[in-house]
């Protein structure tokens, strides 16, 4: 459970935080062994160089007095002469113990006289020194030659070859003991410098990697935000497309229904109006043909002429409502005036007109939509309202065309034959196909039919 919580918290962090935590763990895990290893190598290297320098110094000082001894051992006078050289205070303080080894493990010289001539197992570092190497280590207090002298203090134990003057041949091996405390300060400085170098290198590496990862994380964050924004936009567009698709399907169904209703209405108007009049006229023709005198025949023909004229007028009225005037070359203000003029001629409905900023260029579809809107609005005034307080407003604001027909609603519909128009539903379908909208509101016996239609064309200069 605890690990699951940590994993969940980890996934919530951004790339930079994850890198800092991971890098710190890895850097610490790598820095500690690296620092210890490099520090140890640096300390050993410093120790070796100090041993080599000490061995070279002693080789130069005592080599002339330690050449091949006669009979394989130094005489008492030679030992005293060597003591004079080695027992100087400066050398005594720096190197308290000094021995010379033969290959068989015999000690040729030692400040401890009882050891001279004694044979011990040849130490491994001394054997390597006979191969020409300089060996340095911490003295083993358990070695026989050290126990015999009662060593209680750990020394730096240096084994260096003793060369024959002139030929460079290795004659013996010098064993030097130097106080370890003399080297302790140097070793501490070496370790401190090593740790500082390692920490500085790790910090520089961490800083460079952090900057790179931080830059990459910012790029990823920006791209993620951009992708999220695009994904959100895509979702909105998909929803909008689905909505528009639904509206398109509904609009298609509604158009079919409106078309069928219009045909049915038009057929009913033809049947109830001109068709009935023509049927009546056909009966009058037969009656006129069978008339017994001229007076009766003339009366029948006069009645026939009246019915035919009524049928003709009805057909013209219906046609005038279906056919638009030639509005392709008309400006918007002229289209508005034509619509009001038609309604005044047909229904006797006059309205107070207000037009503002209509010097625009737009498509034929926009003009037809505006014309049908005004036609239907004024038709509703004739059918359901009073024309005494009818106002028509058409104006352009911010590339949107606003048209309003406002009138007072009659207490009861007039006893007139309702003219069959497009209807508000058909107007809504037509306006929505152009990106606009139509709304009808009735409040306090005042009806307001409103059209909003976006125009994309530029306003004329």
What is the DSSP pairing of strand 155-163 with strand 400-409?
unpaired
Q: Is 418 within 8 Å of 406 (Cβ atoms)? A: no
Is 277 inside any structural domain?
no
Is the whole model's pTM more than 0.85, yes or no? no
For the stretch 313-317, contacts whose Cβ atoms lie closer than 8 Å and that sit 24 or more positions apart, written own/partner, are 314/269, 314/273, 314/274, 314/277, 315/270, 315/274, 317/346
* Domain that residue 52 falls in: 6-191
pLDDT at 115: 85
Please say which residue of 191, 226, 258 terminates a domain: 191
* Per-residue pLDDT tens listing for the chain (461 residues): 678 888 788 777 877 888 888 888 888 888 888 888 888 888 788 878 878 888 888 888 887 877 766 556 777 888 888 888 888 887 777 788 888 898 888 888 888 888 888 888 888 888 998 988 888 887 666 665 556 566 666 678 889 898 888 788 888 898 888 877 767 777 778 888 888 998 898 889 888 988 888 888 888 888 989 999 999 999 999 999 998 888 778 777 777 776 676 677 667 667 666 776 677 777 777 777 777 787 777 787 787 777 787 777 777 766 665 656 677 778 888 888 888 887 777 767 778 888 887 777 788 888 888 888 888 888 777 666 565 678 888 998 888 889 998 887 765 544 444 444 457 777 888 888 888 888 888 887 788 889 998 986 544 43
Residue 329 C-alpha from the chain's centroid: 52
What CATH number is given to the structural domain containing 143? 3.30.450.20
- Taking CA 57 as the corner, what is the angle to CA 56 and CA 60, rounded to the nearest 5 degrees? 85
pLDDT at 458: 42
Q: How far is it between the farthest Cα atoms of the chain? A: 192
Count structural domains, the chain. Answer: 2
CA-CA distance, 122 to 126, in Å (whole number)? Answer: 7
pLDDT at 415: 40
Is 234 inside any structural domain?
no
CA-CA distance, 308 to 350, in Å (whole number)? Answer: 30
Is 266 inside any structural domain?
no
Backbone angles phi, psi at 120, to 5 degrees: -125, 160
Please say which residue of 142, 170, 191 terminates a domain: 191
pLDDT at 109: 87
pLDDT at 144: 58
Please say which residue of 150, 171, 191 terminates a domain: 191
3-state secondary structure the chain: CHHHHHHHHHHHCCHHHHHHHHHHHHHHHHHHHHHHHHHHHHHHHHHHHHHHHHHHHHHHHHHHHCCCCHHHCCCHHHHHHHHHHHCCHHHHHHCCEEEEECCCCEEEEECCHHHCCCECCCCHHHHHHCCCCCEEEECCCCCHHHHCCCCCCCEEEEEEEEECCCCCCEEEEEEEEEEHHHHHHHHHHHHHHHHHHHHHHHHHHHHHHHHHHHHHHHHHHHHHHHHHHHHHHHHHHHHHHHHHHHHHHHHHHHHHHHHHHHHHHHHHHHHHHHHHHHHHHHHHHHHHHCCCCHHHHHHHHHHHHHHHHHHHHHHHHHHHHHCCCCCCCCCHHHHHHHHHHHHHHHHCCCCEEEEECCCECCCHHHHHHHHHHHHHHHHHHHHHEEEEEEEEEEEEECCEEEEEEEEEECCCCCCCCCCCCCHHHHHHHHHHHCCCEEEEEEECCEEEEEEEEECCCCECC
Q: Is 379 within 8 Å of 425 (Cβ atoms)? A: no
CA-CA distance, 126 to 135, in Å (whole number)? Answer: 8
pLDDT at 176: 86
Is 43 inside any structural domain?
yes
What CATH number is given to the structural domain containing 341? 3.30.565.10
pLDDT at 460: 41
Backbone angles phi, psi at 294, to 5 degrees: -70, -35
Residue 129 C-alpha from the chain's centroid: 68
Is 362 inside any structural domain?
yes
CA-CA distance, 239 to 373, in Å (whole number)? Answer: 30
Give per-residue burial for 140-173: e unless 16+ CB within 10 Å, then b: eeeeebbeebebeeebbbbbbbbbeeeeeeebbb
Is 334 inside any structural domain?
yes
Is 352 inside any structural domain?
yes
Is 260 inside any structural domain?
no
pLDDT at 149: 60
């Amino acid at each position: 459970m605890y690990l699951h919580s940590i994993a969940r918290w980890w996934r919530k962090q951004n790339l930079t935080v994850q890198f800092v935590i991971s890098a710190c763990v890895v850097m610490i895990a790598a820095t500690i062994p690296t620092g210890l290893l490099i520090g140890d190598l640096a300390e050993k290297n410093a120790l070796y160089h100090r041993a080599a320098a000490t061995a070279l110094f002693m080789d130069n000082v005592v080599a002339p007095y330690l050449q091949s001894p006669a009979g394989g051992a130094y005489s008492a006078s030679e030992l005293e002469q060597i003591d004079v050289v080695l027992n100087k205070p400066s050398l005594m303080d720096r190197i308290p113990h000094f021995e010379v080894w033969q290959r068989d493990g015999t000690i040729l010289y030692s400040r401890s006289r009882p050891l001279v001539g004694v044979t011990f197992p040849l130490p491994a570092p001394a054997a390597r020194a006979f191969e020409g190497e300089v060996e340095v280590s911490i003295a083993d207090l358990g070695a026989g030659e050290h126990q015999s002298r009662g060593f209680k203090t750990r020394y730096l134990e240096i084994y260096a070859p003793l060369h024959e003057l002139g030929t460079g041949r290795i004659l013996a091996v010098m064993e030097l003991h130097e106080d370890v405390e003399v080297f302790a300060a140097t070793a501490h400085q070496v370790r401190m410098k090593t740790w500082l170098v390692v920490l500085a290198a790790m910090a520089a590496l961490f800083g460079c990697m952090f900057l790179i990862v931080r830059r990459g994380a910012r790029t990823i964050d920006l791209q993620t935000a951009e992708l999220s924004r695009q994904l959100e936009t895509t979702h909105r567009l998909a929803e909008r497309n689905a909505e528009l698709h639904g509206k398109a399907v509904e609009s298609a169904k509604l158009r079919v229904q409106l078309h069928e209703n219009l045909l049915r209405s038009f057929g009913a108007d033809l049947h109830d109006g001109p068709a009935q009049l023509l049927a009546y006229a056909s009966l009058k023709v037969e009656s006129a043909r069978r008339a017994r005198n001229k007076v009766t025949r003339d009366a029948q023909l006069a009645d026939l002429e009246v019915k035919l004229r009524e049928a003709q007028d009805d057909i013209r009225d219906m046609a005038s409502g279906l056919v638009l005037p030639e509005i392709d070359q008309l400006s918007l203000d002229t289209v508005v005036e034509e619509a009001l003029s038609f309604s005044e001629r047909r229904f006797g409905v006059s309205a107070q007109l207000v037009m503002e900023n209509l010097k625009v260029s737009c498509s034929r579809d926009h003009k037809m939509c505006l014309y049908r809107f005004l036609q239907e609005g004024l038709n509703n005034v004739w059918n359901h309202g009073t024309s005494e307080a009818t106002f028509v407003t058409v104006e352009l604001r911010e590339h949107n065309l606003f048209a309003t027909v406002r009138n007072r609603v009659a207490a009861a519909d007039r006893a007139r034959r309702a003219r069959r128009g497009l209807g508000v539903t058909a107007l809504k379908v037509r306006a929505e196909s152009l990106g606009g909208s139509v709304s009808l509101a009735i409040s306090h016996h005042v009806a307001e039919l409103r059209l909003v239609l976006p125009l994309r064309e530029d306003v004329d200069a």
